[in-house]
Structure 1
Amino acid sequence: MFVLELHYTAPLERIDALLSDHIDWLTTHYESGTFIASGRKEPRDGGVILAVGADRPDIEQVVANDPLVVAGACEYRITEFLATKTAPALAAYRQELPS
């Protein structure tokens, strides 16, 4: 599982102008099953996405295609972790530690 942390590098006016395209991009990845939760940070200087993917290079490719990244308006920090414990609603995303 991955935590994708967005940090805006452009003024909010520019972010807002790109937001519709960013939301369309989010929707595509929710529909594919890659994203399981997302939202803006408070204060509003970026956002957070919980994602699942085959591996880090796949997730890096997804992030590279975010319209905010393409426009140079945000940067991502990608953190990979093993979700070995989850709430019951997220049981399908539980992972095993490597042996």
Structure 2
Amino acid sequence: MTIPKSVFVVDLNYVVTLPEIDAHIPGHVEFLDQCYEAGLFLASGAKIPRTGGVIIASAPSRESLEAHLAQDPFHINGVAEYKITEFQAKKHKPNFFD
């Protein structure tokens, strides 16, 4: 069982109205798809209530993750703030990181 060196919870909080967020959803979804394709993101979704989102990521380093997040249209357009928490995945479901 190989556990990645760095696992992160990315907590996004919207700082603008939902109609403004919705204008950037297509670009954000494309960004998410690219990060899944690259093996960076493990899970993501909107918060309930819809005040932001959560991303579970595995990256070589916090700096690497931050560089990727800087390409998110939500970040580029200043519509969300990001809080990143790194943790050690001591236990996980089999094949979760495959």
Report if TM-score (shorter chain) is over 0.5.
yes
Q: CA RMSD in A?
A: 1.0
Q: Which has the higher helix share?
A: 1
Q: For residue 24 of structure 1, what is the aligned residue in structure 2?
A: 30
Unpaired segments of 5 or more residues in structure 1?
A: 94-99
Per-residue deviation, 1:89: 3.5
Instruction: Please say if 1:85 is aligned against 2:91.
Output: yes
The sequence identity of aligned pairs, in percent, is 43
1:1-99 matched pairs, under 5 angstroms: 1-90=7-96, 92=97
> Aligned partners of 2:68 and 2:48: how far apart in 1?
24
Bigger relative contact order, structure 1 or 2 (CA pairs below 8 A, ≥6 apart): 2
Residue 93 of structure 2 aligns with an amino acid whose one-letter code is A
Question: TM (normalized to structure 2)?
Answer: 0.90
Per-residue deviation, 1:50: 0.4
> Aligned partners of 2:94 and 2:10: how far apart in 1?
22
Please list every run of at least 4 consecutive aligned residues from structure 1 whose deviation after the TM superposition is greater than 4 angstroms: none
